[in-house]
């Protein structure tokens, strides 16, 4: 299944899971869509999904989480 991503120059593309992980690690994208919501990778994001008072810096997933989803 394809994942919508946004590159640094604000162009959009649909990529595979494999390419998404490469783009995140190489910092080529500024965000992607996960579960219908945009995940930003370069800016602080308000909230952690549970408590809006908590800040997080990114939502990079671990390799274990990615393997489990496949």
Q: Which residues pair with 3 in a beta bridge?
A: 15
> Which residues have a Cβ under 8 Å from the Cβ of 59 and sit 6 or more positions away?
34, 39, 40, 41, 45
- Per-residue pLDDT reduced to its tens digit, 4-42: 999 977 799 999 988 998 998 888 898 899 888 888 886
- pLDDT attached to residue 61: 54
Q: What is this structure's pTM?
A: 0.56
pLDDT value at residue 12 = 94
From CA 49, how far away is CA 47, in angstroms rounded?
6
């Amino acid at each position: 299944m394809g994942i919508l991503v946004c590159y640094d120059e604000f162009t959009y593309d649909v990529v595979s899971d494999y390419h998404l992980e490469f783009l995140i690690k190489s910092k080529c994208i500024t965000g992607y869509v996960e579960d219908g919501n945009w995940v930003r990778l370069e800016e602080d994001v308000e909230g952690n999904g549970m408590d809006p008072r908590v800040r997080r810096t990114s939502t990079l997933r671990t390799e274990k989480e990615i393997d489990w989803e496949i």
